[in-house]
Amino acid sequence: MLRKIFPKIVLALLLTGMVMVKFNIWPPSNSQQSPLLKTDKNRYELGENVTITLTNIAGQPLPITQERPWKICTSEKELVYPEGPKKFWTLEPGASRDWVWDQHYWDSRKAEPGEYVISDTQDWGRSWPFTIVTNITVHPSEKIQEAIDASTDGGIIHVRSGTYRETIIIDKPLTIVGENKENTTIYGLDIPIGHVVRILSSDVSLYNLTIKHPDATPHHAITIGSETSSRLVKNINISGNRIINCEDGIFIWSASDINIESNEFERNWVNGIHSTQTSGIRIRISNNTMHLEDFGEWENSVGICVTGSKDSTFSYNNITNIHTGIYTYGDNGSTYVHNELCQCSTGMSIRDGHNNLIGYNQMYENDLCISFDSSSNNNVTGNKIFENPNGTGIWIRYKGNNIVVRNTISNTKSGIHFVDSTNNSVVDNYVYSCGQACVLEGEGARTNIIEANVIQACSCGISAGNFSTDNAICGNDFFDNGVCTLENGTNRWECNYYSDYDGRGDTPYGEDQSPSIVPRNPIPIYWKQERFDCIINGSMTVSEFHLNSNKTISFNVNGQGYVNLTIPIDLLRGSFQVSASNNQIPHLTSWRDGETVSICFNHSTSSVHNVKIEAQFRQAGDINDDDKVNILDIALVAKYFGQEFQDE
């Protein structure tokens, strides 16, 4: 009897094990291999289709037992849309399947704004939350404030073109979008003092609006936060708006994580953007334009005025005709890059600021371009400062440990000016056609390093004033200056190159006991806004190094000896001719190494000669003479051929 029953028992156990093995494939032991179930967005407007996607991220087929293996519930777990009917199918590895839910309940009721969750019905342990928000459209005969009051948290309000005479308060997370900024205007009420828009909630966005006041009385176009509350408002986005004719364009009381981008500020007669917060604000201000238009000629107008910021960004702003372009107090760890500041009394003023990057800005026609007061450990690099004939390029007063590197300063009364500031480094800057290239002033102007700079065609190169001590002025190149050095303190001058030095390194030049007889640094020259560094070595004095508008390099040589010149190949791609005082130079050698052109020649007379290096032919294929062979040249060729064919 047992012999007959035993094989059947064994077979049954094996079959049971096989079934168990089959159904234990899912869920896998590693939960990260469970399929992904998610919606295409986290927030939907009311009535907007919701796309639901299931993706098999495992390396084996996914068995599924329902046509629609998910359900939707409210955040309170009320069933909104159930799973689909029974159906066995598989989803291949890496494959996805989409479903669309039209925001209707299973019984055809429309979904309401609120929080929802989609979850699987296959025991995968997957769920995904999403939100449905109100979508209200406001027309000119209606009130924006009424739409705000009727909206749910996270709602979206679309404002049609027109003028809305009201002041509004936003006290919940919302997005307000104008139809277009030129014709969608919130025009503040004529009341003695106040705001046009006040934001009292986090997670608010304003887009494509004109916000203005009729008479610019003490009003703020937009106020963020409250002067009577310590609650911090966060995640504010103000983008693509026109902000006009107010005391302050945007006034910030207590907020952080703010993005102010691509707005136009006009005729705001105190500040474009103003924050009075003492500490903790993190703000991004980018791509805005600000112009005062002499509105009231308010003497203390500031484009961007921020106190207590940290890890903030001020970038790509264009600010003109304002007393101070950008002013910050107590800023730490922020970046000020690619701004254009012009026609200001002060372009950028940083007070008590530390560990900031000030880079690649353009500043011109200002009285003072960059000002540091009691600031330290800042990096000032790659800025272009020009056409400030009565102004100062970079002014640093008190404290120190700042780095000023690779800036270009020209046609400015005073290039770099230190007042009672210590331990700064000024390296690899190009200062030309200035009154004074660098000034060290005051008893506290000490232990600074001024090294490897090129100073050219200035009335005075470096002026070390009374009481300046222990500054190291080494390895700089002075070309064609009225006075290269002016020493009234006790500083160390060493190994600088002077184009008017007629010794051989064995006699001093002023305070410099060991002057160099050849330039020590690359000479920067500019072609079409781009900097190119040329290197000169040799045994002769070189002066008046220039790149002319016809792309001819010229310089003077004095004495007997040799010159070895290295030029970036982008300046000299084709054939070229080298002459000295309009005569061909014998025994000249030149070679290319892929990135540079090197030219070496001897000079046998002791007189001064003007050397010219002239390009003879443009680069092959460079039809439009822009130093590049690209699709524009092909287009010109096609145009010329097309004209010839039409003529025929």
pLDDT of 153 higher than 80: yes
Give the per-residue pLDDT at 608. 82
pLDDT of residue 18: 41
pLDDT at site 5: 52
Residue whose pair of structure tokens reads 């700079």 in the numeric block: 453
Per-residue model confidence (pLDDT) at position 577: 87
Residues 6+ apart with CB under 8 A from 645: none
Overall average pLDDT of the 626-639 stretch = 63
Helix then strand then coil, % of the chain, to nearest 5:
10, 50, 40
Tell me the C-alpha distance between 242 and 595, whole Å: 47
pLDDT bracket for residue 170 (50, 70, 90): very high
Which of the four pLDDT bands, split at 50, 70 and 90, describes residue 355? very high
User: Which of these ranges, 151-165, 435-449, 493-507, has the smallest mean pLDDT?
Assistant: 493-507
pLDDT at 205 over 80: yes
Q: Tell me what the mean pLDDT of segment 222-244 comes to.
A: 90
Confidence tier at 27 by pLDDT (50, 70, 90)? very low
Of the pLDDT bands very low, low, confident and very high (cuts 50, 70, 90), residue 624 is low
Cα 382 from chain centroid?
13
Mean pLDDT on 2-11: 49
Confidence of residue 492 (pLDDT cuts 50, 70, 90): very high
The reported pLDDT for the residue numbered 216 is: 54
* Three-state SS at 638: helix
End-to-end CA distance of the chain: 109
The answer to whether residue 264 scores a pLDDT higher than 60 is: yes
- Please tell me the predicted confidence (pLDDT) of residue 338: 97
Determine the average pLDDT of the residues in 20-30. Answer: 41
Phi-psi region of 67 (alpha: psi -120 to 50; beta: other; left: phi over 0): alpha
Q: Tens of pLDDT along 302-328? A: 999 999 899 999 999 999 998 999 999
Pick the more confident residue, 175 or 218: 175
Q: What is the pLDDT of residue 384?
A: 95
Q: How high is the pLDDT of residue 560? A: 77
Q: Rounded mean pLDDT of the chain?
A: 87
Mean pLDDT to the nearest integer, 581-590? 84
Gyration radius of the chain's alpha carbons:
35
Give the pLDDT mean for 88-111: 95
Write out 338-385 in H/E/C secondary structure: CCEEECCCEEEEEECCECCEEECCEEECCCEEEEEECCECCEEECCEE
Which of the four pLDDT bands, split at 50, 70 and 90, describes residue 371? very high
- Quickly state the pLDDT bin for 333 (edges 50, 70, 90): very high
At residue 221, the 3 state secondary structure works out as strand
Q: Over 70: is that where the pLDDT of 394 sits?
A: yes
540 band by pLDDT with thresholds 50, 70 and 90? confident
Who has greater pLDDT, 637 or 254? 254
Lowest-confidence pick of 112-116, 490-494, 604-608? 604-608
Q: What percent of the chain has pLDDT over 70?
A: 87
The tokens describing 51, both together, are 């796309």
Choose the most confident range, by mean pLDDT, from 183-192, 359-368, 533-542.
359-368
Please state, in angstroms and as integers, the Cα–Cα distance from residue 242 to each residue in 93, 178, 199, 221, 445, following that order: 51, 11, 17, 10, 45
What's residue 618's pLDDT?
54
Given a cut of 60, whether residue 623 has pLDDT beyond it is no
Tokens of residue 324, six digits: 């101070």
24-33, 445-454, 511-520: range with lowest mean pLDDT: 24-33
The pLDDT of residue 622 is 61
The residue written with tokens 């006699």 in the block is 507
